A and B are shown apart, each in its own frame.
Chain A
Amino acid sequence: AQTVTQSQPEMSVQEAETVTLSCTYDTSESNYYLFWYKQPPSRQMILVIRQEAYKQQNATENRFSVNFQKAAKSFSLKISDSQLGDTAMYFCAFMAYSGNTPLVFGKGTRLSVIA
């Protein structure tokens, strides 16, 4: 079974600064996908970024980028130029390529952006 671990329950960052959220996972699968979801106070779950495990290049989406280290089973999220609207819970998620297995989520990191 796959597990996803987010070791930072809470983090804070000054507006305009950069912050990195950690995520590690455990799996015996070789093909899989990794995602970061954002849940703002409105409680909506919003996809931030995704990474295919077979791609060596790290995914980027505007101010959001990942550092994917497959051998270390690490998938951290970097937020550059942090904005007040980035305040939210951030969830790391894993999905195996095989079968119809659903997403496995970490417990989340609560990020507060401070003005």
Chain B
Amino acid sequence: SQTIHQWPATLVQPVGSPLSLECTVEGTSNPNLYWYRQAAGRGLQLLFYSVGIGQISSEVPQNLSASRPQDRQFILSSKKLLLSDSGFYLCAWSPPGLRRNQPQHFGDGTRLSIL
């Protein structure tokens, strides 16, 4: 069966520091991968999605970036964090290709607090 791992679960970082959140999926090949942010009391905002290695689509221009160095690895990064980057970050995956009716499956999330 497929599983998704996301870490760390909680992170406290000072303003201006770098960021690296990692997400990996097991039990499937060439998944679609997604990064979402959820601000306190708000809905989910799609940040990035990837349909393959090296293929990243950005939904919201900001100081965050994403990379997919391996088929089942998706990394969210920042060179300098802002206070507004605080929030709950969720990684998700869905099966590749034409299996369009398959929903996304989410990791447990990372709670990021910027001080």
**Which residues of A are in contact with B by a Cβ distance under 8 Å?**
33, 35, 42-47, 50, 52, 91, 95, 97, 100, 102-108
Cβ–Cβ contact B108 & A47, under 8 A: no
Interface readout for B59-101 with A: 1 if CB under 8 Å, 0 if not? 0000000000000000000000000000010101000000011
- Name the residue among B46, B100, B101, B105 with the largest chain A CB count within 10 angstroms: B100
Q: Which residues of A contact B92 (CB under 8 A)?
A: 45
Cβ–Cβ contact A44 & B51, under 8 A: no
CA distance A33 to B98 in the complex (A): 13
CA distance A87 to B87 in the complex (A): 21
Cβ–Cβ contact B34 & A45, under 8 A: no
Q: Which of A35, A43, A95, A106 contacts B108 (CB 8 A)?
A: A43
In this assembly, does B27 line the interface, its C-beta being within 8 Å of a C-beta of chain A? no
Cβ–Cβ contact A33 & B101, under 8 A: yes
Cβ–Cβ contact B109 & A43, under 8 A: yes
CA distance A11 to B108 in the complex (A): 25
Cβ–Cβ contact B51 & A100, under 8 A: yes
CA distance A95 to B109 in the complex (A): 22
Cβ–Cβ contact B101 & A50, under 8 A: yes
With A45-B90, A107-B43 as contacts: A52 and B32 at CB distance below 8 Å: no
Q: Measured between C-beta atoms, what is the minimum distance from A36 to chain B in Å?
A: 10
Q: Measured between C-beta atoms, what is the minimum distance from B54 to chain A in Å?
A: 15
